[in-house]
């Protein structure tokens, strides 16, 4: 017996039966669906699900925050890191992402002060400990990460920590999905929606998917049972022609999300256009600091002017992020671009599709059948 109810979500026996039921529902009908979130990409690949659920095909979407950060934004951060007296605080995944100005790791090797932090508040603490430095947080992430950055911004202003600021590269998932689907939803029959983003914004925030695109969508958790349960719901809805938002992660996600976190986001940030790798500029898909918090706005403090994007030649990360190609279709995949020597962000991030495919999918059918 599991020691708590949440451990039951990784029960392999129930997992096998859900898989059998899913395959029974899919039958011989090929169907294309998308997992939006990078954490789902990794969970699906690690469990070997992709090959087991065919002819249902799951494509990855624009849900890895490191991957969707545009080259020009990252290059601006790398240049900032090389500025005198500046300490850049970043989440670990960002460190090795290549940009046209090099990576943060390379800047650090050349003498820049780049620190890895695990939360936005750690960045603030670093600024309080090192008053002689300008500490700049590289604030990437979706609705899940942004509330923490909002709290750090508020505390910095309240406490007058004048040497702390952030580059807000936060991005919002619903406008990105809108942009992704607007040219036509192509052959997509369903969307697996990000569970953690939904804990903050709520399942209601995705209702436009059924309204505007007649697309079934299911909010899912990250255990194999969660993913299988949500896929069962999606296949049933797709076959019956019932587009709706289904909350299949009810232990964590409420329809209205987390009101406290949403209020904090609203207080500190306002939506603004943002550049996405793959999607280009998407209206209202980013978060910038409101006027009241301009004191912690690194873009203002350092006069950051974004330059042109120059992604690595040959890198097809942008198309991978839109589900247009799968990673092995990129000529660089495993051939000049590996997790050890990545050329693009999708191979760097542990949430990136290319890394997930490289680690878990290269054996094709064999990888899928393991375990």
Partner 1 sequence: MEVCVMCLAVPVQVARIQGSTGWVRTAAGEVRVDLTLVPQVRVGDWVLVHAGFALQVLDEEEARRSLEEWRRAVEHL
Report the residue number, 12 or 331, with the smaller CB distance to partner 1.
12
Q: List, in sequence order, every residue forming a beta bridge with 33; answer none if it has no partner.
A: 58, 190
The answer to whether 321 and 62 are in contact (CB under 8 A) is yes
Single out the segment in contact with partner 1 by CB under 8 A; choices: 88-96, 103-111, 181-189, 271-279. 88-96
SS3 (DSSP) at 312: coil
SS3 227: helix
Nearest residue (CB) to partner 1, 147 versus 190: 147
Q: What's the rounded Cα separation, in Å, for the pair 278 and 67?
A: 9
Is the separation of the CB atoms in 247 and 253 below 8 Å? yes
286 near 169, Cβ under 8 Å? yes
Neighbours of 358 (CB within 10 A): 22
Looking at 8, 214, 281, 366, which residue binds partner 1 (CB under 8 A)?
A: 8
Could you tell me which stretch among 18-26, 103-111, 185-193, 283-291 binds partner 1 (CB under 8 A)?
Answer: 18-26
- Name which of residues 243 to 302 contact partner 1 (CB under 8 A): 248, 250-253, 258, 260-261, 264
CA dist., res. 172 & res. 30, Å (int): 31
Contact between 304 and partner 1 by CB under 8 A: the answer reads no
List the interface residues with partner 1, window 230-249 (CB under 8 A).
232, 248
Q: How far is the CB of 29 from partner 1 (least distance, A)?
A: 19
CB atoms within 10 A of CB 262: 17
DSSP state of 44: H
Cis ω for the linkage preceding 305 (within 30 of 0): no
Residue 137, strand partner residues: 89, 166
The answer to whether 68 and 58 are in contact (CB under 8 A) is no
Contact 276, 70 (CB under 8 A): yes
- Cβ proximity to partner 1, 144 vs 301, nearer residue: 144
163 versus 198: smaller Cβ distance to partner 1 = 198
Candidates 55, 92, 280, 283; binder of partner 1 (CB under 8 A) is 92
- Whole-number Å distance between alpha carbons of 159 and 127: 12
- Write the binding mask 186 to 225 for partner 1: x where contact by CB under 8 A, - elsewhere: ---------xx--xx---------------------x--x
CA distances from 108 to 87, 135, 320 (A): 10, 15, 29
Is 61 among the residues that bind partner 1 (CB under 8 A)?
no
Q: Is 35 in the site for partner 1 (CB under 8 A)?
A: no
Structure tokens at 349: 């991030």
In the complex with partner 1, the residue whose CB is nearer, 65 or 213, is: 65
**Part in contact with partner 1 (CB under 8 A); list of ranges 2-10, 183-191, 295-303, 312-320:** 2-10
DSSP-derived secondary structure letter, 204: G
- When asked if residue 159 is in the footprint of partner 1 (CB under 8 A), the reply is no
Residue 200's H or E segment, with its range, is helix 195-201
Choose between 180 and 248: whose C-beta lies nearer to partner 1: 248
Closer to partner 1 by Cβ: residue 180 or 356: 356
Closer CB to partner 1, residue 23 or residue 270? 23
Q: Which two tokens stand for residue 351?
A: 């949430």
Nearer to partner 1, 96 or 343 (CB): 96
The region of 50-58, 136-144, 179-187, 299-307 touching partner 1 under the rule CB under 8 A is: 136-144
Q: Which residues bind partner 1 (CB under 8 A)?
A: 4-6, 8-9, 14, 17-18, 20-21, 24, 37-39, 64-66, 91-93, 118-122, 140-141, 144-145, 147-148, 151, 195-196, 199-200, 222, 225, 228-229, 232, 248, 250-253, 258, 260-261, 264, 349-351
């Amino acid at each position: 017996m599991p020691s708590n109810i949440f451990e039951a979500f990784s029960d392999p026996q129930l997992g096998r039966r859900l898989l059998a039921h899913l395959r029974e529902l899919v039958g011989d009908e090929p169907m294309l669906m998308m997992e939006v979130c990078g954490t789902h990409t990794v969970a699906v690949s690690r469990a070997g699900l992709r090959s087991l659920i065919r002819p249902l095909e799951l494509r990855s979407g624009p849900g890895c925050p490191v991957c969707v950060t545009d080259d020009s934004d990252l290059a601006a951060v790398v240049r900032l890191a090389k500025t005198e007296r500046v300490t850049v605080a970043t989440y670990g995944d960002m460190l090795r992402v290549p940009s046209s100005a090099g990576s943060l790791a390379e800047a650090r090797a050349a003498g820049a002060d780049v620190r890895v932090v695990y939360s936005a508040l750690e960045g603030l603490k670093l600024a309080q400990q090192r008053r002689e430095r300008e500490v700049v947080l590289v604030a990437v992430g979706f609705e899940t990460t942004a509330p923490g950055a909002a709290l750090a911004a508020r505390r910095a202003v309240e406490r007058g920590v004048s040497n702390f600021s952030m580059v807000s590269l936060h991005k919002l998932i619903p406008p990105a999905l809108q942009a992704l689907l607007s040219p036509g939803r192509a052959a997509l029959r369903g969307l697996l929606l990000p569970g953690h983003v939904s804990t903050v914004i709520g399942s209601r925030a995705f209702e436009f998917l059924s309204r505007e695109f007649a697309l079934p969508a299911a909010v899912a958790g990250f255990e194999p049972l969660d993913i299988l349960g949500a896929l069962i719901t999606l296949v049933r809805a797709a076959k019956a022609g019932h587009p709706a938002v289904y909350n299949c992660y009810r232990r964590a996600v409420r329809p209205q999300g987390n009101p406290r976190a949403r209020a904090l986001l609203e207080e500190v940030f306002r939506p603004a256009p943002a550049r996405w790798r793959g999607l280009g500029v998407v209206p209202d898909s980013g978060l910038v600091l409101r006027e009241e918090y301009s004191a912690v706005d690194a873009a203002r403090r350092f006069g950051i002017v974004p330059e042109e994007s120059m992604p690595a030649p040959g890198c097809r990360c942008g198309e991978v992020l839109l589900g247009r190609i799968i990673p092995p279709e990129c000529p660089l995949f495993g051939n000049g671009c590996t997790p050890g020597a990545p050329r693009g962000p999708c191979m760097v991030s542990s949430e990136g599709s290319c890394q997930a495919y490289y680690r878990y999918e290269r054996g094709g059918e064999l990888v899928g059948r393991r375990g």
